[in-house]
Amino acid sequence: MVNLRPYLVTFILMMPLLSCEIPAEESPNPTPGLIDSEEISFQIDTLYTRLENPWAMAWLPDGRMLITERKGEILVFEQDEFIGERLEGLPEVFNVNQAGLLDLVTHPDITENGWLYIAYAKVVEGGGATAIMRFKLDGNTVANTEELIVTAPAHPGGRHYGSRIIFDNDRYLYFSNGDRGNNPQNAQELNNSHGKIHRIYDNGQIPEDNPFVNVPGAIPSIWTYGNRNPQGLVYDREHDRIWEIDHGPKGGDEINLIEKGNNYGWPVITHGIDYDGSIISEKTEKEGMEQPVHYWDPSIAPCGSMLVTSDQYPEWKGNLLIGALAGQHINRVELDGTSYVREERLLQGIGRVRDVAQSPDGFIYAITEGSGLLIKILPED
C-alpha cells in the first residue's frame, strides 16, 4: 500500500490557513520527502487529521498516547494510530472560548503510583475556575479521582486560562493560570489566583516554603505573579530551571525564567499594545519587575512548549520548541544557558500549533488547530 501521509502533509502545508501569508522562501519543502531546516533535515509523518481543539499530549507506561480535546475528551492512540476510543469518566468542563479541558501530564513516578494529572476549567458558581485533578486509569476508564486545587475567584468568561502543568526533580507540581483577560490587574494582586504560576505538592498540599504563605490575604499556592496568559511551561531537569512562555497581547509575547517570588510585570510593564492598538502601559521596565529573556513583536501567539533532550535530534538538543498559534509554525529557540541566542521558524503554515512534545522514545510530536493535525517529526537517518 502506498503511504499517502507525506503527500497529505504537503497538501496541507500549501493551504492558505486562516489568511496567513507564507513567504515562499520561508515555506517548507513543497515536495514530499526531506525538509531542510538550518540544523537538520527531517520528514513529517501525519498520524491523524481530525483533531478539533487539541491542547496536550502525554504517553502512558504501556505505550498508549493520550491527546486532550478542549471540549472535554481525551483520545487514545496506540502505536501512533487513533484506536477510536476515548477515556471515560472525565469531569464536566467549563467549555467556553479558551476554557475547557487543557493540560495532561503523567506523574514522574507513574510506573509506581499510576497518577495522571489534568488542568481544566471546572464548572463552578459564577462561571469557571482552573482546577487540577489527579486520577488513575482502569483500562480506558478514569478512576480514583482527587481534586487537588481550585483557583479563585470564579470567572464567567473563557479567556486567558493558561494552563500548563510541570513537575520538578523534587516532585513539586507547578501550574500556570492566566489573568482571565477582563482585569489584567489580577496578575499584580496576591489575593486572587489569576495571572500566576502556582506550586503545590503532588497531593495538592501547599509547601511551607512557598514565597507568600505567610502574607495575609495572599493565595498560598502562588510561586510567581505578574504573568499574563502562560500557555507554555517547561522544566529543564538537567539544570533545574523553569521556563514560562507567556502569550502576550499584540506584541509582547515573552520567554521568562521563572524564579521563586518574582514579579514578571504584567500589566504594569509590557512590550506589547492592546489588540485595538491602545496603549496598555508606557513602561517596558520597572524596578522590582523581571525582564523577559526574549520577547516577540509582532506576536507569534506562543503556546505549548518543550525542551529538546533527545539524542534523535542532536543539533537541536537544549533548544526550546514553542508552538505558535498566530504564526502557525514551530519556533525553535537556541539558548546559551539562560540567554536567548537566536530562533528558527519551522513548518510555517502547518496550522495553529497548540502543543509540541517529546515521546518517551525521543521523537517530537505536534498537534494543531484549524488543520487538525497530529504530526511526528522524523530526522534524516
Active site residues: 160
Q: C-alpha grid cell for residue 37?
A: 531546516
Please list, in sequence order, all residues whose beta carbon lies within 8 angstroms of the beta carbon of residue 240, skipping any fewer than 6 positions away.
168, 169
Environment class of residue 255 by beta-carbon count within 10 Å: exposed (0-12), middle (13-18) or buried (19+)? buried
Cα 366-371-372 angle, rounded to 5 deg: 60
Q: C-alpha grid cell for residue 173?
A: 507540581
Q: Are 176 and 120 contacting, i.e. CB atoms less than 8 angstroms apart?
A: no
| Helices (H), ranges, the chain | 5-13, 110-113
Please list, in sequence order, all residues whose beta carbon lies within 8 angstroms of the beta carbon of residue 62, skipping any fewer than 6 positions away.
none
Choose among 122, 174, 176, 127: nearest CA to 150. 122
Environment class of residue 168 by beta-carbon count within 10 Å: exposed (0-12), middle (13-18) or buried (19+)? middle
Please list, in sequence order, all residues whose beta carbon lies within 8 angstroms of the beta carbon of residue 372, skipping any fewer than 6 positions away.
48, 49, 50, 51, 52, 351
CA distance 73 to 104: 11
